[in-house]
Amino acid sequence: MKSLLFAALAFTSSLTAQTVAGKLETLLLLPEPAVLRNNFSFSPEGAEKTVLTPAKELTDVPGIMAYSSEEFKQLGLSVATFTERAKKAADIRLASLKPHLVKDDAGKVLYAVYRSEKPLIASLLVAPSLPLIFESLFGSEVWVAIPDRHSLFIFPAKPEALEEFTADLADRFHNDPRAASSEIFSLKKDTPIRVVGSFMP
């Protein structure tokens, strides 16, 4: 079944997150390794290796960048206010995308994946509507993995749903120079994001 993961990635490589009205997104929460933390970063509940950092979209490589202290002060927003606005912006972007559903031979959905050439996909982690989209498939709680900035994987909230794919997720995290997170996030309606584990050995 590991081949299903690679098939999904190839299939979804054509998906591109479109910025609303063609404008660069200025309200992003970038999941990144905790070692990259700045003064405005904060950690989701239970996170040991991941922070969320206020960021903006760029036209040039790497396509997204954390705000400097001076830039963030110029916004005139608190981190809390920025976070709430970033969640709403993520919901708007998420509504324009369709996930690819990966199934087993019997037709059962194993997981879903969003992927784009733009490095904004991982920031969809904070979209409040994300767990609701998959509630009918996976239940009220879903687990999410974001090994790099270009992909977001959604699984049923049970360890056995991920165990076959942890090695592939770990490879993606290790091999991407701009990795996002090695941790697994629990998402539920009206509940703060919470880390429940890691896909690393």
Decide which of 141 and 15 is more confident. 141
Identify the pLDDT of residue 16.
37
**For tokens 């697994």, what's the residue?**
184
Identify the pLDDT of residue 105.
95
Q: What is the mean pLDDT of residues 151-159?
A: 98
Confidence of residue 201 (pLDDT cuts 50, 70, 90): confident
Q: What is the pLDDT of residues 62-113, one digit of tens each?
A: 999 999 999 999 999 999 999 999 999 999 999 999 999 999 999 999 999 9
Integer Cα distance of 145 and 84 in angstroms: 22
Integer Cα distance of 146 and 198 in angstroms: 11
CA contacts within 13 A on the Cβ side of 144:
27
Across the chain, what does the average pLDDT equal?
Answer: 91
Q: What is the pLDDT of residues 29-75, one digit of tens each?
A: 999 999 999 999 999 999 999 999 999 999 999 999 999 999 999 99
Integer Cα distance of 179 and 116 in angstroms: 15
- Position 21 pLDDT exceeds 70: no
Report helix, strand or coil for 85. helix
Integer Cα distance of 123 and 7 in angstroms: 23
Cβ count near 107 (within 10 Å): 6
DSSP lists the bridge partners of residue 155 as 143
Q: What is the mean pLDDT of residues 14-31?
A: 70
